[in-house]
Structure 1
Amino acid sequence: MAQAGRIAGVELGGTKCVVVLATPAGDIVAQETVRTGNEPDAAIGAIAAVLDGWWQDGGFDALGIASFGPVQLDPAAPDYGHITATAKPGWRNTPVMPPLAARYPVPVAFDTDVNGAAMAERRWGAARGLADFAYVTVGTGVGVGSIVNGAPTRGLGHCEAGHMRVARVPGDTFAGACPYHGDCVEGLAAGPAIAARCGRPGEEIAADDPAWALVADALAQMIQALACTNAPRRVLMGGGVIAQRPELIARIDARVRALVGDYLVLPARDYIVEPGLGTAAGPLGPIALALESLD
């Protein structure tokens, strides 16, 4: 891998953007937070102002951008580097990578925020040594970074497993909360879906509330599908919902094993685990992406 002294990264989230400067070892030396808001020009301008300051004060050797999605990841597409069909007001069809890449004569990597976090976990966290794994974040949405042969999956687009539809638990009539698909996994298990189902946010719902069994079932069905298709050797689960209810991991693991039955042989332990980097996986995601561009 080419030697690099400083790496810049942009983690663009739906609420805030974290701009980071780090070493190739993953040590963050500077970090700034920018409000995402509903005006892309203002947010991207503020991001550029932070990066410009670092560029003038010693520069950086590569830039990684990890964005909320969906995004266009095909370099041959005319809208490569754009956010596409997002429900976030103001951001649909917004160019994110092009205006930033044009400012700095360095390699630029662009991917989803969850793929970035997954690659950070592979480089520094709970997926070290693994070429095939999945990173699942359950928060405002359900995002999945599916890593196969050491790289995020490609094809029609990036992984959108959070929007797959799953079998409903008999008797559950909740319509779901996804604006696109209603009762997809995200519409059943993300934070807003839990709040819509129960009438209050997840942090106010008791651990023994029956709603958690429904959340675990939807997520387990999604992971079973991943196990049968991309065959991850480990699944990392994070995000706000899991952070509030970490006991869900054991519940989901047990349900996945029941769904798989004797057909697939899953690791006896440490198959579904918490991320090793914790909340640092997000900001380190674009750093990991940028380092991949230098490999």
Structure 2
Amino acid sequence: MILGAIEAGGTKFVCGLGNEHGEILDRVSFPTTTPEETMDQVVRFFKEKQVEAIGIGSFGPVDLNKESATYGYVTTTPKPHWNQYPILQELQKHIHVPIGFDTDVNAAALGEAEWGAAKGLDSCVYVTIGTGIGAGAIVEGKLLHGLLHPEMGHIPIKRHPEDTYAGNCPYHQDCLEGMAAGPAIEKRWGKKGYELEQNSKVWEFEAYYLAQAVVHFIYILSPQKIILGGGVMKQKQLFPLIHAHVIQMLNGYIQKEELATGIDHYIVSPGLVDNAGLSGALVLAKRELERVQAVR
């Protein structure tokens, strides 16, 4: 079974071919520019490929309600030119196979649950910290949807006592994304994160904000695994700092061995490394193909 996968990110698109076992057979990536330019490259990649279905994990917000007139749209994104763009429908015009659709972070959570760090578990949260911050969740074996979909990157957080940066989110200013995403780091410190590796205060602030988010997710969703990915988390010194802050912030309230003695196995990096989103899109493709076949 040959399946197509699209990890549609706000910075770059990754398109790939794979199979039902999660093996990536081919992949290509290109910058996310205008919808017309970007989707033209997507269509050209898949046009001559004999795929049975395609999965799309898209940056958002997106409309996941199949009863909605704007199902399959990227909706209120600040990404130039993509606001209210029908990404699913545009692909359906050119590629006539079943197409599964969800958020990029829900897809990543799905990939990690199927083949990665959360394999064998029925709940997990996947958080990506990069150009933006987003999170996907699996609860009792199902992707979490609702009125919209999880927007955990925009939760309110407490400011670090030494941090005077106003925040970078165009909607909320100093929400989690506004304080801890890659652009916030660069605007606060005047350099990109990878240039600040030796500046301990940078990562102390970052860990303080990300740990607050993790604590919220533990309290609200009680996942069996929390996976932190994205470009910012390439700074491996963040994990021990986050672990320490989470323990301190929980303050003994949750008495579980996973937190008390095994937190380095509970809050982890992606098992699929950089393929979580693409692998999850393969699962979306497979599930959509099975759904279509079941109703025929």
TM-score, with length taken from structure 1: 0.92
| 1:25-74 Cα distance to aligned partner (Å, 9 max, x none) | 1112222334321x2123212211221110xxxx2222101111111111
Quote the offset at 1:103 in angstroms. Answer: 4.0
SS at match of 1:203: helix
- Aligned position for 2:27: 31
Match of 1:51 among 46, 56, 75: 46
Tell me if 1:283 matches 2:274: no
Determine helix, strand or coil for the equivalent of 2:45.
helix
Give the whole-Å Cα distance in 1 for the aligned partners of 2:53 and 2:169.
Answer: 36
- Of residues 68, 79, 86, the one that matches 1:77 is 68
Look up the match of 1:247. Answer: 237
Question: 8 Å contact 2:11–2:131 — kept in the other structure?
Answer: no
Structure-to-structure mapping, 1:114-193, within 5 angstroms: 114-193=105-184
Cα deviation per residue 1:161-211 (whole Å; 9 max; x = unaligned)? 111111122243211111211111111111111111111111111434212
In 2, the alpha carbon distance for the partners of 1:86 and 1:239 equals 19
| TM superposition shift of 1:276 | 0.6
Q: What letter matches 2:194 in structure 1?
A: E
**Offset of residue 226 of structure 1:** 0.6
Which residue matches 1:257?
Answer: 247
Alignment partner of 2:208 out of 217, 222, 232 = 217
Structure 2 letter corresponding to 1:51? F
Aligned positions, number: 285
Q: Which whole-Å CA distance do the structure 2 matches of 1:90 and 1:238 have between them?
A: 27
User: What do the CA deviations read for 1:83-132 (whole angstroms, capped 9, x no partner)?
Assistant: 01111111100000112234444332101111111111111111101111
Instruction: Name the structure 1 match of 2:80.
Output: 89
Task: Give secondary structure in 2 for the equivalent of 1:210.
Answer: helix
Whole-Å Cα distance in 2 between the matches of residues 175 and 231 of structure 1?
Answer: 31
Distance 1:23 1:107 in 2: 15
Aligned residue for 1:11? 7
Partner SS, residue 83 of structure 1: coil
**Unaligned stretches of 5+ residues in structure 2:** 292-296
CA RMSD of aligned residues (A): 1.6
- Cα distance between partner residues in 1 of 2:31 and 2:205: 33
3-state SS, counterpart of residue 41 of structure 1 = helix
Tell me if structure 2 keeps the 8 A contact 1:64–1:289.
yes
Is 1:271 the counterpart of 2:266? The answer is yes
Give 3-state SS (helix, strand or coil) of 2:28's partner.
Answer: strand
Cα separation, 2, equivalents of 1:163 and 1:150: 24
Q: 1:42 and 2:37 equivalent? A: yes
Cross-structure match for 1:113: 104
Distance of 1:105 and 1:177 partners within structure 2:
40
- Structure 1 170/16 Cα, relative in aligned 2: closer, same or farther at 3 Å? closer
Shift of 1:283: 2.2
TM-score, normalization: structure 2? 0.91
Comparing 9-18 and 134-143, the one that deviates more: 9-18
* Preserved CA contact (<8 Å) 2:3 2:282: yes
Equivalent residue letter for 2:56: I
Deviates more, 1:201-210 or 1:116-125: 201-210
- Name whichever of 257-266 and 82-91 sits farther off: 257-266
Deviates more, 1:45-54 or 1:128-137: 45-54
Deviation at 1:13, TM superposition (A): 1.4
Structure with higher helix content:
2
> Structure 1 residues 24 and 206 mapped into 2: Cα distance closer, same or farther (>3 Å)?
closer
**SS in structure 1 at match of 2:47:** helix
Quick check: 1:34–1:47 contact (8 Å CA) kept in 2? no
